[in-house]
């Protein structure tokens, strides 16, 4: 019986991002034991989510109660008529 041993290496390209030392210290403390890639992607995702929420809140402020009702009704009608063929 022959036994074989294999080593699998996943090669990922990395890049260096230069930041001031003080910024890196703050970010290292915030990231804890997370990998840098995971940490930065989480930061990006959270910023995008918060920007979307802020834009939505600003939109709501500009619309009247009648506008909001009309949008909700239009959305409801669209969902009722929409079907996959």
DSSP assignment string, 18-46: ---HHHHHHHHHHHTTS-HHHHHHHHHHH
Does the residue 66 lie in any domain?
Answer: yes
What is the rounded average pLDDT for all residues in the chain? 89
Does the residue 60 lie in any domain?
Answer: yes
Does the residue 15 lie in any domain?
Answer: no
CA distance 61 to 74: 19
Does the residue 6 lie in any domain?
Answer: no
What does the block give as tokens for 6? 């294999």
State residue 85's pLDDT score: 61
- Provide the domain limits for residue 77: 21-81
Is this structure's pTM higher than 0.85? no
Does the residue 49 lie in any domain?
Answer: yes
Does the residue 26 lie in any domain?
Answer: yes
Does the residue 14 lie in any domain?
Answer: no
Judge whether residue 1 has pLDDT over 60. no
Q: How far is CA 63 from the centre of its chain?
A: 27
Judge whether residue 53 has pLDDT over 90. yes
Number of domain units in the chain: 1
CA distance 6 to 27: 37
CA distance 31 to 36: 7
pLDDT (mean) for 58-82: 91
């Amino acid at each position: 019986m022959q036994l074989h041993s294999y080593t699998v290496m996943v090669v990922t390209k990395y890049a260096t991002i230069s930041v001031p030392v003080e910024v890196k210290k703050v970010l290292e403390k915030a990231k804890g034991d997370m990998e840098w890639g995971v940490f930065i992607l989480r930061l990006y995702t959270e910023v995008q989510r918060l920007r979307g929420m802020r834009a939505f809140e600003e939109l709501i402020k500009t619309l009247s109660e009648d506008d909001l009702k009309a949008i909700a009704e239009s959305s409801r009608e669209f969902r009722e008529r929409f079907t996959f063929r």
